[in-house]
Amino acid sequence: MAVTADGGSGAVHLHILGICGTFMGGIAALAQAAGHQVTGSDQHVYPPMSDRLAALGIAIREGYDPAHLDPEPDCVVVGNVISRGNPLLEAVLDRGLPYLSGPEWLARHVLQDRWVLAVAGTHGKTTTSSLLAHILEQAGLAPGFLIGGVPANFGETARLGRTPFFVVEADEYDTAFFDKRAKFVHYRPRTLVLNNLEYDHADIYPDLAAIERQFHHLIRTVPGQGALIVNGQDAALARTLGLGCWTPVTSFGRPSGWHARLLAEDGSRFEVWDGASRQGAVEWPLFGNHNVDNALAALLAARHAGVPPDVGCAALTSFAGVRRRLERRGEVAGVTIYDDFAHHPTAIAATLEAMRRRVGSARLIAVAELRSNTMRLGTHRAALAGALAAADECWVAAPGSDWDVAGCLAPLGSHAQAVADTDALLAALPPRLLPGDQVVVMSNGGFDGFHARLMAALDGRA
């Protein structure tokens, strides 16, 4: 069988570098579902992605030994965590093996000829993508999707789907060691959601203007008969659209257009309005004003695909949430533990504000790991204390940071503590927790299994 440099037509053997990342694991699942033989390598092979890939019968090898290329694959798909100097990548280059980035493989082999609904923005991409996929599913449109999290209604991060519709979480991080464009420029959506835009990814973008340019590159790819669903209250998005726009825009968030009217202060019940016209009502398990905005964006994107707003609203009542997005992990000794992915001051503040509205006067404890490259660099240090202000106590771990975390928390006084690592945190925090406390643990990584370790410590204390 003839094999082309892009991975060939028909069934081929793909080897994926960095396979245990959420995105690349999703690529692996899609490739396997399409009938390809899939293997992969990663430095840190651990659950849950390792378990999901194992359940699909995908062989994963620990580390980056060039021997992983035997037998030789037809094409290597390279994750953006892989850099020059990686021994397996160097072997790929030395042998002259065909290779692609994950986004390029996705665009060529899955998104071609599909109606792509992409969700972009600094915050809320995973939740909004999950909401959109769920609405389309409930409307009978059986979409495919690739999402950077696990929607509880589906139990998987990716699937091919049975119709032209495909929902993709559109990330602005760079594509691969050989392609420094944002990942999302490969996707060429027909429906594009722009949730919000702030400065992030300080390791690759010098300022917000650089990110706005990348978002404008994405806008340039949307056809004139497509749709842009845009947060109408975001100044950075307005500037980005001002660089040029060739696609009809539907904005949300302003009373003159599509907006929500809260029926419950915590956002668990709300109505959807188009100006003065009521379009439907939602009562759902989620809460927080940020999630109400996410719902509006998803409803409008689904509307472009043909789902009436009232049908979309009805679908939201059965949405079961997303793993690690204000996910309630359990209650031990009267203390309730939540897991959240928040890793940017705006996201931290939105999470804690949502929790405060939800729990009222109960003691709210925030535990944050500053793990993202932007937070470790201290780019948003001036905003950290304000982001944590809604909590009664704050505990912040900043592994690998060389800036004064404790000093940045000083405005919060004795209510905030900086700790060196999870061991120090586990020694100090459990004795202070009381029945009725609500603990929100925020990290965009595994946090050394802190959630389970905290629950075990509380269980042993009970």
Above pLDDT 90, what percent of the chain?
Answer: 65
Q: C-alpha angle 311/164/221, rounded to 5°?
A: 100
* Domain ranges (residues) in the chain: 13-101, 113-316, 327-461
Decide whether 13-101 matches 327-461 in CATH topology: no
Q: Could you report the per-residue pLDDT of 127-181, keeping only the tens digit for each?
A: 999 999 999 999 999 999 999 888 999 999 999 999 999 999 999 999 999 999 9
pLDDT at 462 over 80: no
With a CB cutoff of 8 Å and minimum separation 6, the contacts of 277 are none
What is the CATH code for 13-101?
Answer: 3.40.50.720
Fold for domain 327-461? Protein-Tyrosine Phosphatase; Chain A (3.90.190)
Integer Cα distance of 387 and 392 in angstroms: 12
DSSP string, 13-48: EEEEETTTSHHHHHHHHHHHHTT-EEEEEES---TT
Integer Cα distance of 447 and 442 in angstroms: 9
Sorting pLDDT into bands at 50, 70 and 90, what band is 1? very low
Q: Could you report the per-residue pLDDT of 68-93, keeping only the tens digit for each?
A: 999 999 999 999 999 999 999 999 99
The correct answer on CATH 3.30.420.40 for the domain covering 113-316 is: no
Report the predicted TM-score, pTM, of the whole model to 2 decimal places.
Answer: 0.88
